[in-house]
Structure 1
Amino acid sequence: MAEKSKGWRPSLASTMIIAMVLGIITGIFFGELVAWTGVVGSAVIMLMQMTIYPYILVSLISGIGKLNANDAKSIFTKAGSIMAAIWAIGLIAILLAPVTFPTLESASFFSTSEVQPKAEIDYLKLYIPANPFESMASGAVPALVLFSIALGVALITVKNKDRVIDLASTAAEGLSKITQSVVKILPIGVFAMSANAAGTMSVEELESLQVFMISYFVLCMLLAFVVLPILLTSFTPFSYRDVMRVSWGALVTAFSTGNIFICLPVILEESKQLLKKHGKDSEDALRLVDVVLPIAFTFPNLGKLTIILFIFFAGWFIGKPVDISSYPMVGISGLLSLFGSVYVAVPFLLESVFLPADLNQLFVVSSFITGRFNSLVAVMNLMAVTLLAAVVVVYGVNRPKIAAIKFFALFGISTVLVFAGTRIMLEHLIDEDKNTSSLIAGMRVERTLTDQAQETSSWNRVANAEISTVENIIKRGVIKVGYQRGNVPFSYFNSENKLVGLDVALAYRLAADLGVDVEFVPYMNEHMADDLERGYFDIAMSGVEVDAELMKHVAFTRQVMQLNLALVVPDHMVKRFSDTSILRRDEINIAFVQHEAMIRRAQKVLTNLEFDQLVHYESFFNPDKPHNYDALLTSAEAGYAWSLFYPDYGVALMKEPGTGRLYSFPVAFALARRNQDLLNYVNNWLDMVRAYGFIDKQYDYWIQGHGATPEQSRWSIIKDVLGWIKD
């Protein structure tokens, strides 16, 4: 009886591709109904991570410890220098790659993360393993790698090292088996994360993600097919055709499987064949190939390093680009972190530059596509390290200066041409016209508030000598609220020409709780105290700063909230003005509307500054009336709101030199000093609505923009095509 055929069984790589495709189809079909799959995906990734830290420890110890002294010296000096040079060249290309990201003129609402103190990174603890077990527990991969290398090197000269190395090798094998078992469920995680991304990601996010995909593919192609082959041909007698011919089999295998380990035998044999073809197959050269390749495999390759580009993309993606001064730190931290898994390195790097950790989900989903391309770079990296070590260490380099000039000339020209072409393409591909002004201009006061307290149509500035007690206001049926025109986001007119804003919403709520209607009366900041005293309005509610000088003339309620002082400047000047010391050394003309008390104090100390008071904030931004102001002094909360109307302006927070402490100030409502009755009522009313969470709710909406964009359910086939479910 003939043996039954086992039938076709897809490889793990094919299974993951199938899982990803099925996940995307599921997400598109069901939409937000499959959002819960994100939890499943996160659980699978956590299982994948559990063996990584101990594996780094035991694999490096066993890999380095089993070397003899001569091999170790040769590898760590000459071959190590070659590997370090390739890392440096690769990092230069990776750190230049963000220039391909298109310009995206955008702005955002204020976020409390802007003013929260950033956790300082302890670089000594990150890189120096004073306590290796603590380094492993806290996820300090660079420190763990340094300890593992140090112990491995120390074991080289230890007589009875075999027992330790056998134990480490056995442990590494055991951990590898755990990983192999967990890998079997990896397609489930791929399916879950793909379904979650396809079902919840907006069209705008998908459009932005293609920027990363294109830039990443271009970077990988540049490294795999241009930079590394040119490096080999410049310092060895091999031609470009020779290099590509011997590496092609390994490149195809890596791309189709996503597995670098199974390519090692191919790289080993092809490298020896190429050396033999050119008469460089001495015993020392062939021995170096046998030693260098497996050791190089345990170190991060350029394929892994390319994922650093995602960190820069993540900052661009959310509108908070990584500062250029942080690039070297990201590069070095990325190199050391990538001794472990990319799934550990990416969250670590995101945290190191204060980017949201949940962006890691975006990376995980894209990694099953990008992983094929960085496999190409990894194979070519291993080929380059192995062949360069065999040729340069044993035979030296013919005319090294000319070889170096040739390589860097070709490297520079090709990198500039490729990145410039990619940037031009992406600029045309991505629509940069983001109308952020429509976000804030379209905001409205809740209808439930405006229905309870109707706005009267009077708006007349009529003096009233009678004190507006609570009883008098209720008899009158109207509370008169003073506001400043164009005081975004506290009181301004929206696209429907309706007066809206945080304080306007509070005014409606106060009127509703009093059981009266509300009348809004405009005032100018410098006349507020007189207007209150004359009774033009009962209460001023428009982001009024609590000022010691004003306290002599008006009565302030309890603090409504605390705001942070900032300067609004053109986007390209934000970094310069973020350094507060600029106010002490440069001649600067600053415009302001309020904060007179602060201005008076500043003028006594900072005589180099010139201050000009404006009647309305719009005067600073009005393009029809040019001015010579360098900055506008206001709150950061208001500054971010104005930047939505004018995206070419940004916000520089005011910080105390030396300490970095933010300058903040309280805002409250103002009343006539003689109106103690209404003052008592409003103070108690503020305590009540704060306890109910009403003030926090309005702060989240008007200041942070939560809910400013109407919630729209994700398009899906089941809802929008088949109509089986409704919103």
Structure 2
Amino acid sequence: MKHGDINLHDSIGMKSVFKKMLSMTSSSQMLVAMFLGFAIGIFFGESVGWLRSIGTSVILLMQMTVLPYIVVSLVGGIGKLQKSTAMLIFSRAGLIMLLLWLIGLITVALMPLSFPFVESASFFSTSTIEPVAAIDYFKLYIPSNPFESMAAGYVPAMVVFSIAMGLALIGMEGDHKQQILTFMHTTSEVFSRITQGLVKVLPIGIFAMSASAAGTMGVDEFASMQVYLISYFVLCLLLTFWILPWIIASITPITFAQALRVSKASLITAFATGNIFIVIPVIVEECKQIMREHDNLSEDCATLIEILVPIAFTFPNIGKLTVILFVFFAGWFNGTPIDLTSIPSLSVSGLLSLFGSVYVAIPFMLDLVHLPSDLFQLFVMAGFITGKFGSITAVMNLFALTLLTAALFQKSLRLRPPQLIKMGLGIVSGVLLTLVVCRVGMGVFISSPAITSEVIANMQVADKVPTKVKKQFPVLGQTPSSPVADIQAIRTRGILRVGYTPSNVPFSYYNNAGQLVGFDSAMATKLAEDLDVEVEFIPFRKAELARSLKAGFFDIAMSGLAMDIRQMDQLSYCEPVLELNLAIATKDHLVNSFKSSQSILEMEQVTIAYAEHGDAIEDVAANYPNIEFVKVEGYKNFFRQKDDKYDAMVISAQAGSAWTLFFPGYGIALLESKSRYPVAYAVAQNNQSLLNYVNNWQRLRKVDGHQDQFYNYWMLGKGATEPQPRWSIIRDVLHWVD
């Protein structure tokens, strides 16, 4: 065979494969595109990350007709209804929606029973103290300016406007009404044809997004959230492929297999894109088709389906309700599980907050049950893949609501005791079996996540100046004193002497290599570098700070010092370096008890330790006669206690979070008042030269970003671990690239 014949044969073969792909159903094409994208992403890794922009472009094109389609379909569909029919739709569909919500919320509330026992902690997160954005329900639901609502994407407001127009058309008569209805119907067909045309390029978008996700998102990123991810996937699959189809099959003429078959294309599209906007027209047509197969599709029923799907889309669906599981997970992982008494209020409040964005609802719900939002950033990061599973549940919810309402409208809904008993037994058995399998499986195969104490214990200061660390405390009256050194004396001496408190995480502590590290150790090193001198660290006890400075044992104290009003006449504080949030550290199972003033007052025989804030403690003690406050030398006295002498410790949220990395059995309760206090550096009272220099130096380092850089590293843990390149075949197996 000649070379040209071989090329011709290959060309014909490629054309044959291409034709076969084009002849596939749209759902099959999407499935192939998704798996092919995953394969490409795993092979090429991060180098195919740019494909995400192509996927995003295709998805935005698919969204092009969604809002206009909702408007014309609602106005035209409601407008041609009789008044009695419209009342029937809204009342019955509303009741079915409430029942589906109830089933979904109960299933979500039961899912935490599958969580295994795991002990862990995390770095401080600014999301803990950030105010939760309020949901503007007025703009979300009231279309005071319909054009603004459409431009801003307020779908509920657009639905309210469209329903109002449709209801107004119901009471009209004459040719003008028919002209409007004809226009709406024609426009709806135009948008439907556009959507059908765009569906042909949707596999390209699915391929691009799948490849990008598989190439850039590593499994290790989700290691700390594996329990949440597994339980969330199982929850969505249980609702999508068992509970909702079982409800349809139990009380309607539609069989279980038919319910899955009719929703296949929409489920695949929603899973691949994470978007249910674009499948609304498809859901409408597939619901009509399955009703037609059972000879149960009247003209009014078809109209019902056309208007019900867009309306139902604007309400929180079961797929959206599943994110409430994250709040249960956050409580479990934080060591403070949600109380049974809090579940009803969390469910109802969560449902209402989910009328808006999940990224607003999650912080709101975490705050509602007094949980820190430490894991919210991981929730956002995992949103791409969890959103896909939530989308398929949302699609099946729309199918269930529409088909149940249509069957009720056509009087083919079977609500006799045998059907209801069958439905109940199927749901209960499926949920129980799932919980048992998940609990056993995760308990056996999932180990505790890596304790982050290894991360903070190996963090280092980037030394650029010679450093000497003394570990012996100077003794007043025994250790030779020195004159207080001003800025010129320090430069002449060539050494900056810095006082530090050992074991004061994360400001000054020893890492695994025996090096003195921490936020203030890094700041001190930077100060010495800017002075062009060496740095020497000398330990001190807080009770002897003022006298140690006066004796010249060190020039400046830099170790997370809370400004104490009772010492201001004995030493000089520089301008505040940071403002920290006052909190309570306690055992994980007691954290919830310390989150409100009322719950603290209800406790009996409580002992709380404190190392600083003596003036504030005196004021608080008068209002809490049930608490005994005990002063201790340092925070280590509390966290390393052997006999549980202290129930809790007053500490900053930032320092407390760092301590819990070493002691994950402890948690942090942010006080209701969200009190803040300043920490500052201290110099001898008469050392005005050094005081002025440090104040000006601090302003400079705040503006140029050095202080923020140190804060992000030591307090938030950013950059504490080296990010590794995403594993890929081309790099790690074939070694074609570095």
Question: TM-score, normalised to structure 2's length?
Answer: 0.82
Provide the residue aligned with 1:600 in structure 2: 618
Q: Determine whether 1:501 maps to 2:518.
A: yes
Structural mapping, 1:570-649, within 5 Å? 570-583=587-600, 586-587=603-604, 588-622=606-640, 624-629=642-647, 631-649=648-666
- 1:55 aligned to which of 69, 88, 102: 69
State which drifts further: 593-602 or 87-96: 87-96
Q: Determine whether 1:111 maps to 2:125.
A: yes
- 1:159 aligned to which of 153, 170, 173: 173
Q: Determine whether 1:421 maps to 2:434.
A: no
Provide the residue aligned with 1:264 in structure 2: 287
Provide the residue aligned with 1:386 in structure 2: 406
Deviations 1:222-258 (A, max 9, x none): 554456535764x67x7xxx83366565366766787
Provide the residue aligned with 1:696 in structure 2: 708
The residue type equivalent to 2:221 in the other structure is E
Q: Determine whether 1:244 maps to 2:256.
A: yes
- C-alpha distance in 1, partners of 2:502/2:668? 21
Number of aligned pairs? 686
Q: 1:14 to 1:102 in 2, by over 3 A?
A: farther
Provide the residue aligned with 1:340 in structure 2: none
- C-alpha distance in 1, partners of 2:644/2:112? 35
- C-alpha distance in 1, partners of 2:519/2:167? 64
Provide the residue aligned with 1:34 in structure 2: 48
CA positional deviation for 1:96: 4.1
SS of match in other structure, 2:523: helix
- 1:197 aligned to which of 213, 217, 236: 213
Structural mapping, 1:115-194, within 5 Å? 115-160=129-174, 161-194=177-210
SS of match in other structure, 1:544: strand
The residue type equivalent to 2:216 in the other structure is T
State which drifts further: 712-721 or 121-130: 121-130
- C-alpha distance in 2, partners of 1:463/1:34? 66
SS of match in other structure, 2:677: strand
- C-alpha distance in 2, partners of 1:264/1:306? 19
Q: 1:457 to 1:254 in 2, by over 3 A?
A: closer
- C-alpha distance in 2, partners of 1:482/1:425? 52
The residue type equivalent to 2:319 in the other structure is I
Provide the residue aligned with 1:454 in structure 2: 467
Q: Give me the CA root mean square deviation.
A: 3.8
The residue type equivalent to 2:574 in the other structure is T
- 1:439 aligned to which of 443, 449, 455: 455
- 1:705 aligned to which of 717, 725, 728: 717
SS of match in other structure, 2:294: helix
The residue type equivalent to 2:610 in the other structure is F
Q: 1:646 to 1:576 in 2, by over 3 A?
A: same
Provide the residue aligned with 1:342 in structure 2: none
SS of match in other structure, 1:713: coil
CA positional deviation for 1:557: 1.1
Question: TM-score, normalised to structure 1's length?
Answer: 0.83
Provide the residue aligned with 2:569 in structure 1: 552
Q: 1:69 to 1:120 in 2, by over 3 A?
A: closer
- 1:331 aligned to which of 335, 343, 351: 351
State which drifts further: 706-715 or 86-95: 86-95
Are 2:159 and 2:314, in contact at CA under 8 Å, matched by a contact in 1?
no
Provide the residue aligned with 2:487 in structure 1: 470
Provide the residue aligned with 1:659 in structure 2: none
The residue type equivalent to 2:462 in the other structure is E
State which drifts further: 252-261 or 81-90: 252-261
Q: 1:265 to 1:691 in 2, by over 3 A?
A: closer
CA positional deviation for 1:702: 0.5
SS of match in other structure, 1:633: strand
The residue type equivalent to 1:611 in the other structure is F
SS of match in other structure, 1:81: helix
SS of match in other structure, 1:444: coil
- C-alpha distance in 1, partners of 2:734/2:557? 54
Provide the residue aligned with 1:666 in structure 2: 678
SS of match in other structure, 1:671: strand
Are 2:45 and 2:214, in contact at CA under 8 Å, matched by a contact in 1?
yes
- C-alpha distance in 1, partners of 2:721/2:581? 25
- C-alpha distance in 1, partners of 2:351/2:548? 60
CA positional deviation for 1:466: 1.4
Are 2:507 and 2:521, in contact at CA under 8 Å, matched by a contact in 1?
yes
Provide the residue aligned with 2:10 in structure 1: none
Are 1:529 and 1:554, in contact at CA under 8 Å, matched by a contact in 2?
yes
Provide the residue aligned with 1:71 in structure 2: 85
CA positional deviation for 1:38: 3.4
Task: Specify every segment of 5 or more residues in structure 2 that has no aligned partner in the other structure, as ranges.
Answer: 1-14, 271-281, 367-372
Identity of aligned residues (%): 37
- C-alpha distance in 2, partners of 1:725/1:227? 48
The residue type equivalent to 2:47 in the other structure is L
Deviations 1:494-536 (A, max 9, x none): 1112111011111112222333322222222112112112222
Are 2:288 and 2:302, in contact at CA under 8 Å, matched by a contact in 1?
no
Are 1:48 and 1:182, in contact at CA under 8 Å, matched by a contact in 2?
yes
- 1:567 aligned to which of 568, 571, 584: 584
- C-alpha distance in 2, partners of 1:19/1:7? 15
- C-alpha distance in 1, partners of 2:601/2:211? 54
SS of match in other structure, 1:307: helix
State which drifts further: 306-315 or 514-523: 306-315
The residue type equivalent to 2:323 in the other structure is I
Q: Determine whether 1:520 maps to 2:520.
A: no
Provide the residue aligned with 2:275 in structure 1: none
The residue type equivalent to 1:105 in the other structure is E
- 1:510 aligned to which of 518, 521, 527: 527
Q: 1:36 to 1:317 in 2, by over 3 A?
A: farther
Deviations 1:557-593 (A, max 9, x none): 1221211111122334334433244455655432111
The residue type equivalent to 2:644 in the other structure is P
Q: 1:683 to 1:298 in 2, by over 3 A?
A: closer
- C-alpha distance in 1, partners of 2:71/2:109? 29
- C-alpha distance in 2, partners of 1:598/1:464? 33
The residue type equivalent to 2:497 in the other structure is K
State which drifts further: 325-334 or 198-207: 325-334
- C-alpha distance in 1, partners of 2:347/2:303? 33
CA positional deviation for 1:130: 4.1
- C-alpha distance in 2, partners of 1:497/1:179? 65
Are 1:311 and 1:349, in contact at CA under 8 Å, matched by a contact in 2?
no
- C-alpha distance in 2, partners of 1:41/1:223? 25
Are 1:102 and 1:426, in contact at CA under 8 Å, matched by a contact in 2?
yes
The residue type equivalent to 1:466 in the other structure is P
- C-alpha distance in 2, partners of 1:104/1:150? 52
Q: 1:270 to 1:211 in 2, by over 3 A?
A: farther
Q: Determine whether 1:678 maps to 2:690.
A: yes
CA positional deviation for 1:173: 3.1
CA positional deviation for 1:367: 5.9
